[in-house]
Structure 1
Amino acid sequence: MPPKSPKAKKKRFPTRKPHFFKVLLGDFAQRLRIPPKFLKHISSVGSKKAILQGPSGSKWHVELGKDMKDTFLTAGWPKFVEDHSLREYEFLVFQYDGDMHFTVLVFDTSACEREDVFAVRPRRQPRQCEGKRKRGRPPKHSPEVGCIVKSEAIEHGMSLELRKDDVHQPNLLQIQPFQQAECGLPSPAPACDVKVEREESELLINILRNTTKRSKGGRISTRRPLTEIERLRAEEAANSFTSAFPYIVMRMAPSQVYRPYMRIPKWFSRAHLPPKRSNLVLRDPSGKSWIVTYIPSLRCQISRGWSVFARTNNLEEGDYCVLELIGPIELRVHIFRAVEAEETLEIATTPTA
């Protein structure tokens, strides 16, 4: 048999396409840092623009920006985040196809690909709130930031920012409480740095287990780790729920039960909830009513009042809640627990002298 030609070998072994992945943390809604070691694949191109092809096959145009040492996806990236309703602790896999074209896969915190983004198409850019300025007056905020408001700021939540030179170096995990801002970047309060010796591939597990279990209110869960059977049992029970009213099944992630807000998928919010900030009524399984604040922002969420509801009803990671819309501003909450009777520890905070 004659030896195979170089052309045949090339066809059999196609050119490798490099990949990188990112856990969505901190200010990911405004910009996304490209791993420094990955820059060798795109440094020769020299372009300041890139194309992101989402799971649906649609394309989003973004720009690359730099600071003293890092390169980020900037202008156009917030629209990609909004259109795909990306949430903290989800992660993305970027495949570089060449010529500044990336194919992006979206995974949720269960490590499974999100199927709801397979049909996402680019939507119109939301209006900016910068308004008119006097001639010669410098802009107050960078145009890359626009009108995005950090939703964590509203209820004094915590935002996480990862700073790391490469995946083989120690991570510096910075935890910052944000102050409220009407437009542009929130004003960070003094930060506290926590060094976490982990590789980026372990970061998601580390954060879910160690960082988010303590909210500002001081709640810590002491429930034992769930078995896969317990997780599946709660999921099956929740998915068996049916109603003539609109409803949505929500798996309780650490960020929803140990922090002062719960995010609602944008498709449900736009279809069934008020278009403006308003109060909603949550009715728990015992029939008790709870007033909470609903905020239809970049990340639609229930904030004020949610942490008390979650704590009083002993919600834990792995439980499921079905939110059933029984009135214009009233939601009946059905709770499907992974484990029925579990102990939690509440840390009492006392003022310092």
Structure 2
Amino acid sequence: MPPKSQKAKKKCLPTRKPHFFKCIIHLSLLSKLQRIPPKFLKHISSVGSKKAILQGPSGSKWHVELGKDMKDTFLTTGWPKFVKDHSLREYEFLVFQYDGDMRFTVLIFDTSACEREDAFAVRPRRKPRQCEGKRKRGRPPKHSPEVGCTIKSEAIEHGMSLELLKDDVQLPNLLQIQPFQQAESGLPYPAPACDVKVKREESELLINILRNTTKRSKGGRISTRRPLTEKERLRAEEAANSFTSAFPYIVMRMAPSQVYRPYMRIPKWFSREHLPPKRSNLVLRDPCGKSWIVTYIPSLRCQISRGWSVFARTNKLEEGDYCVLELIGPIELRVHIFRAVEVEETLQIAMTPTT
């Protein structure tokens, strides 16, 4: 009888799902290949398979290919699309959970060690239609280096060093694998309702990366605020999420890349649904009613660029603060700011002499 009960207990235990992580130390992760740790391959039942599926935080799926050299296994075709669609950035942290049958769930954390809010709304991008007319029937064209070129051009635009784009893995004998063909849906991107809260699976991993430190980003400014407590982070988040309006709006948590650099990225679903389809000027109205002109660029990474750094600096935005962008006109956004730490306290710390 005891052995039977022990057997039943074992059956009730949840199946362990192994994980591995990747930290984007530099831009080499944005290249065409992503290496799977060799020790992790023992968990993959179909190592010989050429296909895998990555499920992003939004629940959407990206089909990728596997390639091998003499000693390593890589994500190849399809990986650049996953990178591009999620607008992955330096110092972000990816956790890959293996769900079996060559399926991975990917969690994306930003430099505050919290899951990226905008990643829960990302959908696979549709391929642009060809302008040259209909393509002739027959075998599909070979994989184009367009993705790599796009990433490099964005790196130049944001002042990143091209030296970092060099892949740190040499693959002279990488096996050639035919691209996996998938029929893409012609449906438009669904725009989730603003008041719907997305449920997230709790990660059991302890992420300790790049906590709130005083630093200067290239072309940005220095933070003079002390590190935040968890209570302060939650207080700002709850205050922002309690906001309601009859106008379209989006809740944005301020990450270091958004307040210490001269641009702010906006989730693609909100941009495509509510903002102009072409590069144009927008008006930001701050809590005091003052208007600010900024440049909006609906490119690969939808973002507000020129004018944003002045707005962020003047309004003393810091990492961990929340901004609610409320669309009150075709090109006008009212900005509601929910601070994690009051401005007076930040100024007091900045004026305290160091010993």
What's the TM-score once normalised by structure 2's chain length? 0.65
Is the 8 Å Cα contact of residues 252 and 322 (structure 2) preserved in structure 1? Answer: yes
1:189 to 188, 191, 195: 191
- Structure 1's 180 and 322: CA in aligned 2 closer, same or farther, altered over 3 A? farther
- Deviation (angstroms), 1:64: 2.5
| Identity rate, percent | 92
Once the two structures are overlaid, the 10-residue window that deviates more, 289-298 or 191-200, is 191-200
Cα distance in 2 for partners of 1:193, 1:68 equals 51
How far residue 238 of structure 1 moved from its aligned partner, in angstroms, is 2.4
Describe the shift of the 1:218–1:166 C-alpha distance in structure 2 as closer, same or farther (beyond 3 A): closer
Conserved? CA contact 2:191–2:273, under 8 Å? no
Report whether the alignment pairs 1:91 with 2:85: no
Q: Which has the higher contact order (CA 8 A, sep 6+)?
A: 2
Deviations 1:20-79 (A, max 9, x none): 123456xxxxxxx42343245459723332222445665432112468976432322344
What SS does structure 1 have at the residue aligned with 2:207?
A: helix
How well do the aligned residues superpose, as a CA RMSD in angstroms? 11.1
Shift of 1:119: 8.2
Change (3 A) 1:173 1:248: farther
In the alignment of these two chains, the number of paired residues is: 346
The 1:209/1:196 distance shift into structure 2, 3 A limit, reads farther
Alpha carbons 1:215, 1:260 under 8 Å: kept: no
CA contact (8 A) 2:254 2:318 kept: yes
Secondary structure in structure 2 of the residue aligned to 1:259: coil
Moved more, 296-305 or 251-260: 296-305
Contact 2:152 2:165 survives alignment (8 Å): no
CA contact (8 A) 1:157 1:177 kept: no
User: Is this contact kept in 2: 1:51–1:102, CA < 8 A?
Assistant: yes
Deviation readout 1:280-323 (Å, 9 max, x if unpaired): 12222333332222121232111122122212221111112121
Displacement of 1:86 after TM fit?
Answer: 5.8
* Contact 1:162/1:172 (<8 A) preserved: no
Contact 2:112-2:210 within 8 A present in 1 as well: no
Find the aligned partners of 1:351 and 1:188 in 2 and give their Cα distance: 51
Contact 2:191 2:270 in 1 (8 A): no
CA distance in 1, matches of 2:199, 2:328: 47
Which deviates further from its counterpart, 280-289 or 299-308?
Answer: 280-289
Task: Tell me how far 1:248 sits from its aligned partner.
Answer: 1.5
In the other structure, the counterpart of 1:29 is none
**Larger CA deviation: 72-81 vs 162-171:** 162-171
Q: Greater CA deviation, 190-199 or 234-243? A: 190-199
Alpha-carbon distance change, 10 to 248 in structure 1, aligned in 2, over 3 angstroms = closer
1:159-182 Cα shifts (integer Å, max 9, x gaps): 799999999999999999999999
Deviations 1:305-343 (A, max 9, x none): 212221222111111212121221122222222222358
Task: Report how far residue 273 of structure 1 moved.
Answer: 0.5
Identify unmatched segments of 5+ residues in structure 2.
Answer: 26-34
Instruction: Give 1:30's aligned residue.
Output: none
Match of 1:209, SS? coil
Change (3 A) 1:202 1:238: closer
Report the Cα distance in structure 2 between the residues aligned to 1:200 and 1:313, rounded to whole angstroms: 34
Q: Is the 8 A contact 1:150 1:185 kept in 2?
A: no
Distance 1:223 1:275, change over 3 A: same
- Call closer, same or farther: CA 1:19–1:168 in 2, change over 3 Å: farther
CA 1:195/1:101 → structure 2, altered by over 3 Å: closer, same or farther?
closer
What CA distance in whole angstroms lies between the structure 2 residues aligned with 1:202 and 1:173?
36
Q: What secondary structure does 1:152 align onto? A: helix
For the residue of structure 2 that corresponds to 1:348, the secondary structure is helix
Structure 1 distance, partners of 2:7, 2:79, is 39
CA contact (8 A) 2:53 2:102 kept: yes
SS at match of 2:104: strand
Shift of 1:274: 0.8
1:180 aligns with 2:182: yes
Q: 1:195/1:38 Cα in 2 relative to 1: closer, same or farther (>3 Å)?
A: farther
Change (3 A) 1:282 1:175: farther
Match of 1:153 in 2: 155
Which deviations, in whole Å up to 9, do the C-alpha atoms of 1:112-147 show, x marking residues without a partner? Answer: 667887787655334579999999999999447267
Q: Would the alpha carbon gap of residues 268 and 295 (structure 1) be closer, same or farther in structure 2, given more than 3 Å must change?
A: same
Q: 1:138–1:172: structure 2 CA closer, same or farther, 3 Å change rule?
A: closer
Displacement, 1:208? 3.9
Aligned partner of 1:11 in structure 2 is 11
Inter-partner Cα distance in structure 2 for 1:17 and 1:119: 25
- Give the SS at the match of 1:78: helix
Judge which range, 211-220 or 186-195, deviates more: 186-195
* Higher strand content, 1 or 2: 1
The normalised TM-score by structure 1 is 0.65
- Gaps spanning 5+ residues in structure 1: where? 26-32
Partner SS state of residue 83, structure 1? helix
